[in-house]
Structure 1
Amino acid sequence: MVPILVRCNPTEDFERNYKFQGLGRPLSLYTNTNAKLEGFFSGLEVSAQTSNAPIDIIATMFGQSSGSESRVNLQTSNGAITAHLGLVSDYENNILRAVAQTSGASLTIHASGRLMLAQNSSFFLDASTSVGPATAYLYPEYEGLYDLWTTRAEAQLRGAKDLADPSGKGRHRTVAKKSTGRHAQGRIYWSHDGKPAAASERGSVKITTSVSPVVLYI
């Protein structure tokens, strides 16, 4: 499938913002500088890049077959990133990979239960900023690793302790955690006996920042 490539060149008015909407096809959106990118995308792959400006995106990705992979790539600097990410599919075992990178600004990623609707899906997130706070929200079914880093602040893991099994199978969630204040890492999985199954390690969330807190809601 041929991707849609949009290059925005704000030479006359570099304070201009760019709104976009894409459906079905891969979308790549670039600006030179100082132009905010915001919009809604629904499809298989999206890439948005700017600088000195924020990115605000809602991306609902599709799983087109069993085991298929969708990708989201967001890059800016000196601008906040706010992303609502979802994965919808009639098939199982789909994968969503997301990269979000900025600096000098906040970073917020939403991958909540109302957005992640594909069964037995895997979610991989690599998110980083500096100076600004970094926050991510995960869907209840998430299983996999997490790794939170910051400096001069705290890496925090927050969430309900007694969460009901979203699948209705009567499983219990285990949240393994190793923390040194500025660094928190561990694993999240669902099971009947408190032991992780091989299939439970099917995701990874890595979030880094500096000076400010990093918080993962599960």
Structure 2
Amino acid sequence: MKSITIIDDEFSIGGFTSGNEGIWTRNAPTDPPTADYISLSGSLEVPLMRIVRPYQASGDRVEIVHAEHGGMGVIKDNVLKKVDGIVTAEKGIVLSVLAADCVPIYLIDKKAAVIGLLHCGWRSAAGSLLHNAVQRMKELGAAPAEIQVITGPHICAECYEVGEEVRKVYAEAFTKKQLEKIFVLRNDKLYLHLSEAVRSKAAAEGIPDENFSDINCCTFHDKSLYSYRRGDRGRQNSAFIMMKA
């Protein structure tokens, strides 16, 4: 198991972990919580009823969650279906998403006391996921100039080979100058720099570049983390964040 602390200050705590088994998803909504969520609950000293996990779909949908969403996707069924981002203004609620190469994006506005967490694959990075998250955070009082963006562990540009069809999608979403930073051509192969795509999207939302940071940890390189591209199936890492009470 590997656990990485993303942020831990007076305002919030956030992390990324492979868990003991890498199994976070139950086979049925009536199944008991997985051992890894039980372990996460214990380490955070937060009841399972305060942890929320959406059913992800590699899309652009973002929802605001409240205390009544607690336990969804962890110990009970979920109304957060086909949702890849969740935000909240309530303290003590643990937002969590699963990832095994995609980018977990941590969003923090300390001034407004609003946080968010996104599961961002290559399609979402070129799409409206971050925009929608910022809009939801603004509904709760956040301001783009105050939002801190942290990209957590994900497959890096040295490892993430993609096809020409991906570049065509990105060509419609980014400028030529941005594409020069997002894609790397090496030995006639094309590689995607996901965190640079997220950085460009953040700038478009009015988030200052100094508010953006990347953990610089690759899920493909680091064999103590799970990677879909490396061949891990049925096992994932969990990203989480919570405002402290």
TM-score norm. by structure 2 comes to: 0.30
Q: Give the number of the structure whose residues are more often strand, by fraction.
A: 1
TM-score norm. by structure 1 comes to: 0.33
Q: Give the number of the structure whose residues are more often helix, by fraction.
A: 2
Larger of the two Rg values belongs to structure: 1
